[in-house]
Amino acid sequence: MGVGASIVLFAPDAPSAVAAAKAAQARVEQIEAVLSDYRAQSEVSLLPARLRETPEVQIDPVLADAAESAQKLRLQTDGAFDERLGELTKLWREARKAGVPPDPKATADAWRRSRADYIIQDANGPTPTLSSLSAIRFDFGGIGKGLACDKAAEVLESHGIDRFLVNLGGDLVLGNPPIGKPGWRVSIDALEGEPLTVELANIAIATSGPRYQSLIVADIEHSHIIDPRLGEPLITPRGVTVLAASGTEADALASALSVLGEQAGPRLQAKFPGTQWRILSRVPTGHVHVWTSSGFPTPSAP
Nearest 5°: the CA angle 133, 107, 64 is 40
pLDDT band at residue 248, thresholds of 50, 70 and 90? very high
Average pLDDT score over residue span 214-237: 79
State the pLDDT at residue 3: 80
- Across 9-23, 98-112, 272-286, the highest mean pLDDT is recorded for 9-23
CATH superfamily assigned to domain 161-292: ApbE-like domains (3.10.520.10)
Average pLDDT score over residue span 230-250: 90
> What is the average pLDDT score of the chain?
90
Closest CA to 138 of 87, 91, 102, 188: 87
pTM above 0.85, yes or no: yes
pLDDT tens-digit readout, 71-102:
999 999 999 999 999 999 999 888 888 888 88
Which residues, 6 or more positions from 45, have their beta carbon under 8 angstroms from its beta carbon? 36, 37, 39
pLDDT tens-digit readout, 167-193:
998 899 999 999 999 999 998 876 665
Which residue ranges make up each domain of the chain?
52-138, 161-292
pLDDT band at residue 295, thresholds of 50, 70 and 90? confident
Closest CA to 79 of 243, 255, 280, 249: 255
Q: Which amino acid is at 300?
A: S
